[in-house]
Amino acid sequence: GAGVSQTPSNKVTEKGKYVELRCDPISGHTALYWYRQSLGQGPEFLIYFQGTGAADDSGLPNDRFFAVRPEGSVSTLKIQRTERGDSAVYLCASSPQRGAGYEQFFGPGTRLTVL
Amino acid sequence: GQNIDQPTEMTATEGAIVQINCTYQTSGFNGLFWYQQHAGEAPTFLSYNVLDGLEEKGRFSSFLSRSKGYSYLLLKELQMKDSASYLCAVRDGSSNTGKLIFGQGTTLQVKP
């Protein structure tokens, strides 16, 4: 079956602009995670959805970042007034459940470049 | 606080064995994962340990000691395609979200 997909694969924008990054999880996976990976670093947690609700948004760096998952499937990460420091690869992962033993399946990521 | 340490880079020879270490200090623990990530690609799952001991899976094995906050990934019969970044990640046990806390990754270069 299909894996996690993310669009766009690359996004170049100018400082101050608004961007949306989309994640299509594996069908039937209730848990969805967003991570951010800077060059040479491991992924850093941003936000977790269980179903439609954001159960943990403690990793969002500030209020310019927001994410939704209105129907419990596709999720969109929204970044307002982008800054150069937002440049990174944004990874989405899904899991059948959040419980112990369930691996997270990662998408290929969206590489965001803020000029 | 949360801290996961692994070496930044390692080099090994094709056909050899390499061990990548990971130490962690986290406020909670609910399992440890190893992921492989080729440049520009998604991390892919390699192994999962929640109890102490060794888990073997083909050419890859992973070990966990919870009392020492220590894990290693062992790769045998190295192949050129094993050149990648290897990510150690602890599943957060202090919350009920299952989020992963990653180390910085170890870039492994396999030479002929």
Q: Are strands A110-114 and A10-13 parallel, antiparallel or unpaired?
A: parallel
Q: Which amino acid is at A73?
A: S
The answer to whether the beta carbons of residues B36 and B46 sit under 8 Å apart is: yes
Question: Sorting pLDDT into bands at 50, 70 and 90, what band is B27?
Answer: confident
Which residue reads 């000691």 in tokens? B65
Q: What would you report as the CA-atom Rg of chain B, rounded to the nearest whole angstrom?
A: 14
Q: What is the pLDDT of residues B76-94, one digit of tens each?
A: 999 999 999 999 999 987 7
CB contact under 8 A, A101 and B50: yes
What is the average pLDDT score of chain A?
Answer: 93
**Cβ-based neighbours of B72, under 8 Å, separated by 6 or more:** B19, B20, B21, B22, B62, B63
Question: Sorting pLDDT into bands at 50, 70 and 90, what band is B1?
Answer: low
Mean pLDDT, rounded, for A34-62: 93
Q: Indicate whether B28 pLDDT > 90.
A: no
- The nearest CA of chain A is from the CA of B30 a distance in Å of 6
- The nearest CA of chain A is from the CA of B104 a distance in Å of 4
CB contact under 8 A, A103 and B48: yes
Angle at B103 between CA A99 and CA A45, to 5 degrees: 55
A40: left (phi over 0), alpha (psi -120 to 50) or beta: left
Mean pLDDT, rounded, for A15-41: 95
Residue B61: name the closest of B50, B72, B69, B52 by CA: B72
Mean pLDDT, rounded, for A50-71: 92
Mean pLDDT, rounded, for B42-57: 94
Question: Rounded to whole angstroms, how far apart are CA atoms A42 and A51?
Answer: 26
B22 touches chain A (CB under 8 A): no
CB contact under 8 A, B98 and A98: yes
Residues of chain A with C-beta less than 8 angstroms from the C-beta of B102:
35, 42-44
Mean pLDDT, rounded, for A35-62: 93
Torsion of CA A89, A90, A96, A100, to 10 degrees: 70
Residues of chain A with C-beta less than 8 angstroms from the C-beta of B31:
100-101
Nearest-Cα residue of chain A relative to residue B49: A101
Instruction: Tell which B residues from 63 to 102 touch A, by Cβ distance under 8 Å.
Output: 87, 89, 91, 95-102
Q: What is the pLDDT of residue B61?
A: 97
